[in-house]
Amino acid sequence: MADKVFNVLFLCTGNSARSIMAEAVMKQLGQGRFHAYSAGSHPRGEVHPLTLRALHEQGYPVDGLSSKGWEVFSAADAPAMDFVFTVCDQANGEVCPVWPGQPMTAHWGFDDPARADDRDPAVQYKAFTFVLQQIVTRLRLFLSLPLDKVDRLSLQHQLHQIGGTQAGA
């Protein structure tokens, strides 16, 4: 299992900020050991410009990022996922499709930076960079797990712990 490449799907409602950030960060930090994807239950159809700016300015790749619906990853010809993470509370409460591959799942909720109340562009951008740093921290924790050395139940528990939720929640 040490040579296995894992498929990871990040879900959010609009697929324009948090899930996109997680996809881009995982693509870089996963160093080829992970294929990262993102999708939304009700995709906006475009990536938020401040998402792209924050990722670019922090050195993460932005090429190929797009807002798409989660049905793309529940189709019969979709890649089998090993992990599926919801990154917004609304998507966590929705009924998700059945994912091919029986992936491990967890909820890692982050505040929506696109909903920053302040109309000051600098404050809005700061909300995006703050959420991006939270995502980086959780993904670093995830990547530090010995995926090839722990049993499925222990791993599931650790995934919930990274998200700040209890196993079974």
DSSP 83: E
Give the three-state DSSP class for 32.
coil
Rounded-to-integer distance, Cα 161 and Cα 165, Å: 6
Known catalytic residue at 131: no
Rounded-to-integer distance, Cα 126 and Cα 46, Å: 20
Among candidate residues 11, 12, 24, 84, the one labeled active-site is: 12
The residue to which tokens 């409602």 are assigned: 13
Among candidate residues 20, 26, 50, 88, the one labeled active-site is: 88
Known catalytic residue at 106: no
Among candidate residues 96, 143, 145, 155, the one labeled active-site is: 96
First to last CA, the chain: 28
Rounded-to-integer distance, Cα 92 and Cα 167, Å: 14
Known catalytic residue at 72: no
Active site residues: 12, 88, 96
